[in-house]
Amino acid sequence: MDVTVKIKRFDPEADHPESYWQEYAVALPDNATVLDALIKIREEQDGTLTLRCSCRSAICGSCAMRINGHAALACKTALSRVLDGDNAVVVEPAGVMPVVKDLTVNFDPFWDKIRAVEPYLQPQGAEPAGEYIASNESMLHLSGVTACIMCGACVSDCTVLEVDPTFLGPAALAKAYRFTADPRDGNREGVSRERLHQLSEPTGIWDCTRCNECVEACPKGVAPMDRIMALREQAVNAGFTRNNGARHTSAFTESVGHSGRLDELMLPIKSVGGITNVGAMLSYAPVGWRALTHGKMPPLRHKNVENVENVRRLFRKLEPDLYGPEIGKSSPFG
Amino acid sequence: MKYAFFPGCVSQGAAPELYPAARLICQRLGIELEEIPAWTCTGAGVMQEKNQLFGDTLNARNFAKAERMGLPILTICSTCQGVMSQANLRMKRDPEYLAQINSYLAEEGLEYKGTAEPKHLLWILIEDVGLDKVLELVTRPLAGIRMAPFYGCYIVRPTEALDIEEHPERQTSLETLIETLGATVVDFAGKTRCCGFPILTINEKNSMAMVGKHTSEAKDLGADAMVTPCPLCHLNLDGYQPKASAQLRRKVDLPILHLPQLIGLAMGISPQELGLQKHIMNTQPLAMKLGAAR
Ligand code: FES
């Protein structure tokens, strides 16, 4: 098949380094991958085209880049599946990380974050006489996360990292989960309290927007976002609840559990730690006032759905720890 | 054409202009809406991060009621769409899980048989109603208007739950609709990214950075307005745009429309009836450009 590959290029040694687009026409067999096309271009048309690759089999994790705007492994992407109506495909370097040249990016920030989560087992207490014992199920469960090949596709497409480089990000957090979920890590019950405490701080698990970009980008099914959600559950269960993220989740669940629907007025108030958090409350005031004057304030008196007992029964049964008397329903002052 | 209507909390709470606008255009399109009795929140993905079982059970409850009505589900919220689709996939894929959930529902005499296929109005317009029918009702084509699409994460990802493999046209549905109504699509990288709403109370700086980035990017490409099928995105992109602008140190002034409002404008319905005056960002210049007096 005859295809056009549109590549975003960058040469740091040019007089005025600036990224630009270059198109290549190339003929390939129908079953070719995007990587096949790039290698053919480099070998036959333009030796200056720079990219990373090694295994060509989705194992080494070198060839993550953006294909038609979304991160993927070039060697795992069949060209025929990404061509548009004009038989063209757009290839760019991975996002978030700084471009070195053409399709190669600087992975230093990636590795810094992996290092920051201390990616090695940290068992506490006295060493056992023999080996550390872990059940089969617990390790099988972890095989999904250990499948990570550190290609950086998730980091490339992370919506938070795009605006905030301090966020630990999907790859490092999934790596952290690999240890918090390991029964050998942490205290005798397998709870990694120190890690969960650290991860609950700003730049950690609660900064994720749940946008699912990393789940789509990961070529190995690691589903980093799902691991971050599991970390949130672990952190809350370990008692690390004094933060806006954990409060938000609990307040949301309480509102829906008691009334069937979301009380939009109470939620932000409870999330920032209640009406007593004057600073945070004031920061919402201009927006609240604007909403009020435009006639779009949520109803002050939040109504329950009909036969709300049925919802509350489920609440009591499925979320017994949170179920309790309604506090401050529908009024920040009551 | 009749549907079991799932409006979602926000269309009746913090974005009260959405509900009547949706009802209005559905009526004109011959889409009959019967609200699911005493429907509950989907959990918005927030409940699911703490207790998936509780969240999924509430969704199964809504689905069971729609099954009893014998009607397919229509929603007007991207987030509701995504959360419902994800819960539905988990239940359909795992009969034991569904049986467990049904054991809780049995106490109020409900059972979810696993037949629901919740669909957003956006998809229904293209897949069920048909663009020809929409076009028939366009009396004020949006010619000359440059419109930026903004989907909301949950209606584009994860692709597996949303049946994108089988319906690839869903990935460009918003652009298709904008063009059908006569407006010009302003394509931009942010259209399928996150609006920042989920972390508004957790990391406001990042949330505002997202609003600033998307609105200013669309504005720079010459957009007159942005349209979204997600009321939560609307809350952030419209309601918090002044704050995001301040953080960005730049005036952006981009009106954000709900999907039904855009359709309503093209149908010749007045901006007032569509609730445009309830927006935080001024929609009047857009209405003037359209020749639609209040
Ligand atoms: S070349 Fe090794 S993963 Fe693509």
Q: Is B203 on the interface with A (CB under 8 A)?
A: yes
The answer on B281 and B169 residing in a single domain is: yes
pLDDT on residue A280: 56
pLDDT on residue A328: 45
Distances (CA, A) of A60 to A40, A73, A153, B205: 20, 10, 13, 36
Query: Taking 60 as the threshold, does the pLDDT of residue B219 lie above it?
Result: yes
CA distance A154 to A245: 22
A53 lines ligand 1 (CB under 6 A): yes
pLDDT tens digits along B204-213: 999 999 999 9
Domains held by chain B: number = 2
DSSP state of A98: P
Residues of B in contact with A277 (CB under 8 A): none
ipTM for the assembly: 0.93
pLDDT on residue A138: 87
Q: What is the DSSP string of A149-194?
A: ----HHHHH-TTTTT-TTS-HHHHHHHHHHHHTSTTSBSTTS--HH
Which among B120, B142, B177 is the end of a domain? B120
Task: Name the minimum distance, in Å, from the CA of B43 to any CA of chain A.
Answer: 8
The packing angle between helices B95-105 and B78-93, to 10°, is 110
The answer on B203 and B77 residing in a single domain is: no
B65: domain CATH number is: 1.20.1050.140
pLDDT on residue B12: 81
Q: Which residues contact A44 (CB under 8 A, 6 or more apart)?
A: A26
Three-state SS across chain B?
CEEEEECCCHHHCCCCCHHHHHHHHHHHHCCEEEECCCCCCCCCCHHHHHCHHHHHHHHHHHHHHHHHHCCCEEECCHHHHHHHHHHHHHHHHCHHHHHHHHHHHHHHCCCCCCCCCCEEHHHHHHHHHCHHHHHHCCCCCCCCCEEEECCCHHHCCCCCCCCCCCCHHHHHHHHHHHHHCCCEECCCHHHHCCCCHHHCCCCHHHHHHHHHHHHHHHHHCCCCEEEECCHHHHHHHHHCHHHHHHHHCCCCCCCEEEHHHHHHHHCCCCCCCCCHHHCCCCCHHHHHHHCCCC
A61 lines ligand 1 (CB under 6 A): yes
Residue B162 falls inside a structural domain:
yes
Residue B126 falls inside a structural domain:
no
Q: Is B9 on the interface with A (CB under 8 A)?
A: yes
Q: Is B165 on the interface with A (CB under 8 A)?
A: no
Residue B125 falls inside a structural domain:
no
Q: Is B243 on the interface with A (CB under 8 A)?
A: yes
pLDDT tens digits along B39-66: 999 999 999 888 899 999 999 999 999 9
Q: How confident is the model at residue B5 (pLDDT cuts 50, 70, 90)?
A: very high
Residue B95 falls inside a structural domain:
yes
Of B170, B210, B169, B214, nearest to B191 by C-alpha is B214
pLDDT tens digits along A37-79: 999 999 999 999 999 999 999 999 999 999 999 999 999 999 9
Task: Name the minimum distance, in Å, from the CA of A1 to any CA of chain B.
Answer: 23
The answer on B100 and B47 residing in a single domain is: yes
Strands A2-9 and A20-27: antiparallel
User: Given the CA of residue A55, which atom of ligand 1 is nearest to it?
Assistant: 2
CA distance A56 to B196: 36
Q: What is the mean pLDDT of chain B?
A: 96
B239: domain CATH number is: 3.40.50.11810
Answering whether pTM is above 0.95, one says: no
Contact check, Cβ <8 Å, B51/A318: yes
The answer on B243 and B112 residing in a single domain is: no
Q: Which of residues 18-47 of B touch A (CB under 8 A)?
A: 37-41, 43-47
What's the average model confidence in pLDDT over B253-276? Answer: 97
Residues of B in contact with A210 (CB under 8 A): 45, 49, 153, 198
Phi/psi region, residue A244 (left: phi>0; alpha: psi -120 to 50; beta: rest), is alpha
Q: Which residues contact A145 (CB under 8 A, 6 or more apart)?
A: A174, A175, A177, A178, A181, A222, A227
Which among B120, B141, B159 is the end of a domain? B120
pLDDT on residue A21: 98
- Picking from B41, B154, B200, the nearest residue to A261 by CB comes out as B41
The answer on B219 and B175 residing in a single domain is: yes
Residue B278 falls inside a structural domain:
yes
pLDDT on residue A132: 87
Q: What is the span of the domain harbouring residue B199?
A: 131-290
pLDDT on residue A322: 85
In the reported structure, the alpha carbon of residue B11 is separated from the centroid of ligand 1 by a whole-number distance in angstroms of: 46
Task: Name the minimum distance, in Å, from the CA of B181 to any CA of chain A.
Answer: 24
Domains identified in chain A and CATH numbers: 2-105 (3.10.20.30), 108-237 (1.10.1060.10), 244-323 (no CATH)
The answer on B116 and B135 residing in a single domain is: no
Q: How confident is the model at residue B11 (pLDDT cuts 50, 70, 90)?
A: confident
- Picking from B39, B49, B57, the nearest residue to A318 by CB comes out as B57
Of A170, A168, A151, A266, nearest to A215 by C-alpha is A170
- Picking from A229, A253, A298, the nearest residue to B13 by CB comes out as A298
The chain A residue lying nearest B109, using CA atoms, is A310
Q: Which of residues 45-74 of B touch A (CB under 8 A)?
A: 45-51, 53-54, 57-58, 61
Contact call for residues B168 and B156 (beta carbons, < 8 A): no
The chain A residue lying nearest B106, using CA atoms, is A310
CA distance A159 to A71: 12
Which among B63, B90, B120 is the end of a domain? B120
The answer on B188 and B236 residing in a single domain is: yes
Residue B137 falls inside a structural domain:
yes
Residue B147 falls inside a structural domain:
yes
User: Given the CA of residue A75, which atom of ligand 1 is nearest to it?
Assistant: 4
The answer on B38 and B86 residing in a single domain is: yes
In the reported structure, the alpha carbon of residue A226 is separated from the centroid of ligand 1 by a whole-number distance in angstroms of: 24
Q: Is B244 on the interface with A (CB under 8 A)?
A: no
pLDDT on residue A330: 42
Residues of B in contact with A314 (CB under 8 A): 54, 57-58, 61, 104
Instruction: Tell me the average confidence (pLDDT) per consecutive run of 10 residues in chain A, 334 residues long.
Output: 98 96 98 98 98 98 98 98 97 98 98 98 90 88 94 98 98 98 92 97 97 98 96 94 90 90 72 58 55 61 86 93 63 36
In the reported structure, the alpha carbon of residue A53 is separated from the centroid of ligand 1 by a whole-number distance in angstroms of: 5
**Which among A38, A52, A59 is the best mutation to test ligand 1's pocket, defined by most ligand atoms within 8 Å of the CB?**
A59
Contact call for residues B126 and B120 (beta carbons, < 8 A): no
CA distance A223 to A92: 23
Residues of B in contact with A294 (CB under 8 A): 277-280
Residue B70 falls inside a structural domain:
yes
The answer on B83 and B224 residing in a single domain is: no
The answer on B172 and B114 residing in a single domain is: no
pLDDT tens digits along A141-182: 898 999 999 999 999 999 999 999 999 999 999 999 999 999
Task: Name the minimum distance, in Å, from the CA of B14 to any CA of chain A.
Answer: 5
